[in-house]
């Protein structure tokens, strides 16, 4: 009402209070930013005790492990240390952690500068938010700078809602030159992929989903993967399912059900969207004649499009 009385330009600075009107959310805004089921009367969140760790938590723990072994590792986030699993890293390595605020474009440029000086920056960001820095990603790729883009919330994100679906990163990232794009089938492979990314001499995008992993054993010795090589998980003679990331285990389940009906299919964990495992894909195409691609990404420009372009 007061602003209406001014004839000149006026800047109104509003300090928001998260959770306003609901005391449990006011007292713990980070928890209630993307909360699951909770009791409205008490504010108590339903316990997930006993559930497998989330991909986000596994990423954060692996970052701490790798940073303890390599002092050049730097972590960057854009106002989401909790959401990207870097809170623990920030406490353990305060001089190597940077929260640049809601400035994804700057985060990428900042990471580029660090990489140009010989450091190993990891920018942890939600997949959908990295879209804001499209042009800056191109600058990183053009210069072949070793920046790691850790894309949390890739694919469908459930409770986070449609504005947070990370369904386009495979499409917009693989068009850039000099970048490696990969997705793990489970939380253990995520750890190995992060180690792979930090050894790369160029830009790498590692995308992984929201939510819990499968509870698979975590290997303590992290071994870099062969870049551009997929993993054959099942052999069949009637065709092949080329799956990537979150779709690998559902592809295996589908193959099991089809096998019970007499249809035997191979299942491949592609691992890499760019570069593709050219040799493996062409061999499967030649021997089986039927390829099915399964991904959690927009159809246009995604993993399936990459396979079609190869063929």
Active site members: 18, 104, 132
Distance CA 17, CA 26 (A): 7
Nearest CA to 119 among 89, 135, 98, 91? 98
Phi-psi region of 234 (alpha: psi -120 to 50; beta: other; left: phi over 0): beta
172 three-state secondary structure: helix
Nearest CA to 105 among 127, 74, 78? 78
Distance CA 224, CA 257 (A): 33
Distance CA 183, CA 217 (A): 18
Dihedral sign for Cα atoms in the order 135, 141, 147, 152: positive
CA atoms within 13 A on the CB side of 83: 23
């Amino acid at each position: 009402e007061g602003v209406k009385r001014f004839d000149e330009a006026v800047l109104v600075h509003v300090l928001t209070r998260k959770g306003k009107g609901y005391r449990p959310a006011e007292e713990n805004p980070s928890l209630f930013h993307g909360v699951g089921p909770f009791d409205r009367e008490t504010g108590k969140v339903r316990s997930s005790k006993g559930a497998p760790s989330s991909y986000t938590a596994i990423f954060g723990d692996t970052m701490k492990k790798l940073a303890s072994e390599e002092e050049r590792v730097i972590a960057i986030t854009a106002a989401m240390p909790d959401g990207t699993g870097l809170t623990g890293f920030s406490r353990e390595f305060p001089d190597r952690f940077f929260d640049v605020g809601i400035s994804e474009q700057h985060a990428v440029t900042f990471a580029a500068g660090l990489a140009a000086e010989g450091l190993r920056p990891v920018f942890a960001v939600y997949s959908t938010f990295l879209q804001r820095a499209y042009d800056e990603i191109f600058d990183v790729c053009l210069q072949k700078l070793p920046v790691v883009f850790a894309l949390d919330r890739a694919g469908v994100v459930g409770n986070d809602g449609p504005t947070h679906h990370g369904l386009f990163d495979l499409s917009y990232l693989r068009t850039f030159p000099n970048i490696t794009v990969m997705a793990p089938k489970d939380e253990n492979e995520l750890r190995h992929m992060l180690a792979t990314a930090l050894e790369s001499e160029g830009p790498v995008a590692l995308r992984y989903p929201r939510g819990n992993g499968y509870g698979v054993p975590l290997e303590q010795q992290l071994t870099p993967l062969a870049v551009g090589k997929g993993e054959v998980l099942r052999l069949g003679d009637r065709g092949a399912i080329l799956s990537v990331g979150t779709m690998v285990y559902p592809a295996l389940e589908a193959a099991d059900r089809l096998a019970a009906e007499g249809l035997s299919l191979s299942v491949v964990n592609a691992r890499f969207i760019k570069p593709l495992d050219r040799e493996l894909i062409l061999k499967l195409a030649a021997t089986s004649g039927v390829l099915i691609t399964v991904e959690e990404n927009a159809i246009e420009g995604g993993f399936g499009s990459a396979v079609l372009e190869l063929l």
